[in-house]
Amino acid sequence: MSTQLPVLKAADFGSDQDVRWCPGCGDYSILAQMKKMLPSMGVPREKIVFISGIGCSSRFPYYMNTYGIHSIHGRAPALATGLKSVRPDLMVWVITGDGDGLSIGGNHLMHAIRRNLDINIILFNNRIYGLTKGQYSPTSPLGKVTKSTPMGAIDNPLHPLSIAIGCEASFVARSIDTHIKHLETTLHRAAEHRGTSFVEVYQNCNIFNDGAWEYTKDRQTKAENTIELEHGKPLIFGTNRDKGIRLNGLEPEVVELGKGITEDDLLFHDEKASEPSLAYLLSRMRHEDGFPEPIGVFRAIDKPRYDDELNKQVDAAKAKKGDGDLNALFNSGETWTVS
């Protein structure tokens, strides 16, 4: 066997299966950026596992030439927990959607994130149920008219990043399917992070919810409606980069630069802040409330990882009691002998 790792290309990560998403679906771009990004990690394909639940996004593992499990609805984070607990050497990706991850699988997502296993969770948010043909999802806005809500949705929507932060996530980021450079960079950051990386990707379902994220994509409006987060930099946005976010007490507000307001008055992004309050505040900035929606890395901190801790306990037990000896175990406690 050669000792030098072969240099892999994006195409090496594609499986021989035909991709079956609808033409024009945002999932294609996420798949492409993943394949483009992975070679840069230098991890051999056999050391990578993709795990998904059910839904359009969950077909993802079939298209990757890695190990993969297309599991059951909402449960991918739980499978990943078991897998990573016994095989910390593997790079594990969980692919989920807004229905899979936040509705039927909400409990598993919450607990995977709080355990902070060294896994990467990518949530494709298209704000609709695609595979079941167009019912509203937990991220659909109030009033959304769909097949199952002909008079409009009356459930308050969930915000994936707010939930992840509430679950003590150590890495939280957002990107957009069509921002291919940004998406690739974000996936790379997620892959590099040690601990659970949670990434929300705004993904267009051109069949059942076309244009849901158009305000973040349209050439004319995207600079006004999104704000790119950079660690240590002030929050500036706008076509002319003339607007910013300032803190007014505990509330963010949009301000125009100039007229006595300088960059120094703005909120500076700190993805390493030990308290998650800032990241949470950013996750609450919604387009409908007149804010640009942040993209990039909201939070990236170092915290103990479940898989590490579990294996440390095993090592500690071995160091203390020695490698398990069955005969010693069987004869422990009170015994008696019959001759």
Partner 1 sequence: MSTTTEGQPASTKETIVLEGATVRLAGDSGDGMQLAGTQLTGTSAQVGNDIATFPDFPAEIRAPRGTLAGVSGFQVHFSSQEIFTPGDSLNALIAMNPAALKTNLADLDAGGALIVNEDAFSKKDLEKAGYDINPLDDDSLEGYTLFKVPMTTLTRGAVEGLGLSVKEADRCRNFFAMGLIYWLYGRDTSPTLRFIESKFGGKPDVAEANRKALNAGWNFGETTDAFVSNYQVAPAKLPPGTYKNMMGNQALAWGLVAAAKASDIGLFYGTYPITPASDILHELSRHKNFGVRTVQAEDEIAAMCTVIGAAFAGSMAVTGSSGPGIALKGEAMGLAMILELPMIVINVQRGGPSTGLPTKTEQSDLMQVIFGRNGESPLPVIAPRSPGDCFDVAIEAWRIATRFMTPVVILSDGYIANGSEPWLIPDANTLPKIEVKHPGPPADGEEFMPYARNERLARPWAIPGTEGLMHRVGGLERQDVTGNVSYDPDNHQHMTNIRAQKVENIADDVPLQEVDGPDSGDLLVLSWGGTYGANTTAVKKCQKMGLSVAHTHLRYLNPFPKNLGEILDRYKQVLVPELNMGQLRQLIRARYLKDAIGYNKVQGKPFTVAELVIKIQETIG
Cα-Cα-Cα-Cα dihedral sign, residues 15, 17, 18, 19: negative
126 lies in the site for ligand SF4, by CB under 6 A: yes
171: Cβ contacts below 8 Å, ≥ 6 apart:
189, 190, 193, 195, 196, 197, 198, 297, 299, 300, 301
Provide, rounded to whole angstroms, the least separation between the CB of residue 33 and ligand SF4.
16
198 lies in the site for ligand SF4, by CB under 6 A: no
Do residues 12 and 39 touch, judged by C-beta distance below 8 A? yes
Site string for ligand SF4, 41-80 (x = CB under 6 A): ---------------x------------------------
In degrees and rounded to multiples of 5, residue 52 shows phi and psi of -135, 170
| Residue 206: contacted member of ligand SF4, partner 1, none (CB under 5 to 8 Å, by partner type) | ligand SF4
Site string for partner 1, 79-108 (x = CB under 8 A): xxxxxxxxx-xx----------------xx
CA distance 291 to 41: 35
Of the candidate residues 206, 230, 234, 268, the single one contacting ligand SF4 (CB under 6 A): 206
Do residues 209 and 127 touch, judged by C-beta distance below 8 A? yes
Which residue, 124 or 171, has its beta carbon nearer to ligand SF4?
Answer: 124
Which residue, 11 or 317, has its beta carbon nearer to partner 1?
Answer: 317
Of the candidate residues 130, 160, 195, 244, the single one contacting ligand SF4 (CB under 6 A): 130
78 lies in the site for partner 1, by CB under 8 A: yes
Q: What secondary structure does DSSP assign to 66-103, as a single string?
A: SEEEE-STT-HHHHHHHHHHH-TTSEEEEEEEHHIIII
CA distance 118 to 195: 4
Q: What sections of 72-199 are H helices per DSSP?
A: 76-86, 98-99, 106-115, 160-166, 180-192
Cα 235 to Cα 49, 61, 122, 183, 320: the distances in Å are: 36, 36, 25, 19, 51
DSSP lists the bridge partners of residue 48 as: 91
101 lies in the site for ligand SF4, by CB under 6 A: no
CA distance 161 to 153: 21
110 lies in the site for partner 1, by CB under 8 A: yes
Do residues 210 and 127 touch, judged by C-beta distance below 8 A? no
Which residue, 129 or 298, has its beta carbon nearer to ligand SF4?
Answer: 129
| Residue 130: contacted member of partner 1, ligand SF4, none (CB under 5 to 8 Å, by partner type) | ligand SF4
Count of residues binding ligand SF4 (CB under 6 A)? 11
338 lies in the site for partner 1, by CB under 8 A: yes
Which residue, 92 or 279, has its beta carbon nearer to partner 1?
Answer: 92
110 lies in the site for ligand SF4, by CB under 6 A: no
CA distance 120 to 48: 11
Q: Is 160 helix (H, G, I), strand (E, B) or coil?
A: helix
Of the candidate residues 208, 237, 280, 298, the single one contacting ligand SF4 (CB under 6 A): 208
205 lies in the site for ligand SF4, by CB under 6 A: yes
207 lies in the site for ligand SF4, by CB under 6 A: yes
19 lies in the site for partner 1, by CB under 8 A: no
Helix (H) or strand (E) holding 243: strand 243-248
In degrees and rounded to multiples of 5, residue 198 shows phi and psi of -115, 120
The span of 26-34, 65-73, 224-232, 292-300 binding partner 1 (CB under 8 A) equals 65-73
Residues that bind ligand SF4 (CB under 6 A): 21-22, 25, 27, 56, 126, 130, 205-208
Residues that bind partner 1 (CB under 8 A): 15, 17, 44-51, 61-62, 64-72, 75, 78-87, 89-90, 107-108, 110-111, 310-311, 313-314, 316-318, 320-327, 329-331, 333-339
